Amino acid sequence: MKKFGIFISLLFLLVSCGDNKTENNKVLYLYGWADYVPSEIFDNFEKETGIKVVEDIYSSNEEMFAKLKAGGKGYDIVTPSTDYVEILMNENMLEKLDKSKLPTFDNIDPMVLEKIQYFDKDNSYAVPYIMGSTGIAVNTKYVKDYPRDYTIYERTDLAGRMTLLDDMREVLTSALGTLGYSQTIEDETAIAQASDLVKKWKKNIAKFDSESFGKGFANGDFWVVHGYAENIYQELDEEQRAHTDFIIPEKGDTAYVDSFVILKDAPNKEAAYKFLEFIHRPENYKLVSEHLELPSINVPARELIEIEPIYKMEDLKGSEILRDIKKTLDIQNKYWQEIMVD
């Protein structure tokens, strides 16, 4: 989840991601997204087990991966998005799960597990945490009679009032999907067509923005933003929410499954298993879903949740999860750079 901006929450100040940490079985080191796990979860886990969770924050999957590849050690659990779980698996950096230590794994919606089986065939490495959509938020106070897909970015009357994520994978995948192509297509002609479509969209947007789109939407600077519902809705009051429509397009929609993974060199794997078992207990996962206002991937927790999610799990059935596109990454990078300078 590129999701909640950068701020320090339970951040421990250590150089090179904890090279000087000791193997303290009463401390669990988690490397993840900011404000992603409710602090109440950490507090309750420590009360029950005596294990303190110390959290370090990254702002992108790329930052996380670069730090680990550069030799950063000491982390037990990381929270990558789907494509980076696949990359970490391919780099032989992950511990294969001992499911006997994860009885609550069975609480996870089979649809979510199926979504990641294209690379984690037996669900042996990733414990899904959240599934969500990268969609389009529309301020219905100012925008009327709009298409419910990416063709909204062709609306010249909205020029300067729209943003797209500053994220090659998200934007090009959505453009490819809008044209009817898969994100893994290797035909450069198709990628070039998607690039041309994004250039068309670019003429009408104010900017590519992955940091402040939620705030910009809330303060009225932008009426149409591409991004993550949880980033947007946390900025809105009740009146603003009443005239916000979050679109999950039928074509070009991307979804994410952020998962917990245990690193192969994790110093405290037993604490990691205890935490993953703990978070998927229904009464604990309820706190997660209510905190993020996203649909619960934990089936029994759905009976406990009192806050209506922004969208429903059924809305994500047709969404395409981002994959590792190593075969075409350089080609897509080439066209993305052209988009940026065009």
* pLDDT tens per residue, range 145-196: 999 999 999 999 999 999 999 999 999 999 999 999 999 999 999 999 999 9
Pairing of strands 320-321, 254-262: parallel
d(Cα 305, Cα 292) in Å, to the nearest integer?
12
> What's the chain's average pLDDT?
91
For 64-84, what is each residue's pLDDT tens digit? 999 999 988 899 999 999 889
d(Cα 219, Cα 223) in Å, to the nearest integer?
10
Residue 236: which of 246, 249, 248 has the closest Cα?
A: 246
User: What's the pTM value of the predicted model, to 2 decimals?
Assistant: 0.84
Residue 303 is predicted with a pLDDT of 97
For 222-231, what is each residue's pLDDT tens digit? 999 999 999 8
Strand partners, 127: 260
**Would the pLDDT of 33 be above 80?**
yes
Contact 115, 131 (CB under 8 A): yes
With the CA atoms of 190, 192, 196 and 202 taken in that order, what torsion angle do they form, in degrees rounded to the nearest 10?
110
